[in-house]
Amino acid sequence: MRDAVTSLIKNYDVTGRYFDRNALDRLKSYFETGAARVQATAVINANAAEIVKAAGLRLFDELPELIRPGGNAYTTRRYAACLRDMDYYLRYASYAVVAGDTDVLDERVLEGLRETYNSLGVPIGPTVRGIQIMKDIVQAQLMEAGIAANVVDQAFDYLIRELSEKNL
């Protein structure tokens, strides 16, 4: 797993270049947002169970067919698996927030996930919606705590974008 600094260094090292203005601006932004990213992650960590529970309730309120007979979250076992997966996405999003980089999401979450979900018949649309709901909840909590809510955008938006259906 890399953070924004090691990713940047690797990219420049591979091409044998010195840092240019863009690289220095990215480093500056990374360090300037460091405290807010750590504070945001502390809020996520302290409220993770509440965030997942609220997101699950909101998701199932919006898409009640998921918890009806035949739905993908029907039965206690499937419902619990859905909440477990939401917690998994939230935890890894918090890692990406601290790192200021999405590499951890590719390495630990996204590689093969779409194929796994498709093979198991897990609908991706509701998964994406659940992640968006968690992002909204986290941002509201951050704003309430006086922390810049946009520091979580990169991580959640990356998950959403990479899991979303793509037109080929």
**DSSP character for 122?**
-
Q: Is residue 115 very low, low, confident or very high in pLDDT (cuts 50, 70, 90)?
A: confident
Distance CA 49, CA 84 (A): 10
pLDDT at position 105 over 60: yes
* Element at 31 (helix H, strand E): helix 21-32
Residue with the two structure tokens 């601290």: 98
Which helix (H) or strand (E) segment holds residue 87: the answer is helix 76-99
Residue (of 103, 88, 83, 84) closest to 154 by Cα position: 103
| Integer CA distances (angstroms), 85 to 24, 51, 80, 136, 166, in order | 37, 13, 9, 17, 21
pLDDT exceeds cutoff 60 at 168: no
Note the pLDDT of residue 91. 97
Q: What is the mean pLDDT of residues 102-113?
A: 90
Q: How far is CA 58 from CA 3, 52, 83, 129, in A?
A: 32, 10, 12, 10
**Taking residues 161-168, what's their average pLDDT?**
71
Where residue 167 falls (left for φ over 0; alpha for ψ -120 to 50; beta otherwise) is beta
Percent helix, strand, coil in the chain, to 5, is 80, 0, 20
Q: What is the structure's pLDDT at 118?
A: 82
The percentage of residues in the chain with a pLDDT greater than 90, rounded to a whole number, is 86
At 46 the pLDDT is 98
The CATH number of 34-163, from 1.10.10.10, 1.10.490.20, 1.10.3720.10, 2.40.50.140, is 1.10.490.20
For residue 165, name the pLDDT band (cuts at 50, 70, 90).
Answer: low
pLDDT tens readout for residues 20-46: 999 999 999 999 999 999 999 999 999
Q: Which residue has the tokens 């990169």?
A: 154
pLDDT given at position 166: 55
Confidence of residue 116 (pLDDT cuts 50, 70, 90): confident
Domain boundaries, given as residue ranges, for the chain: 1-32, 34-163
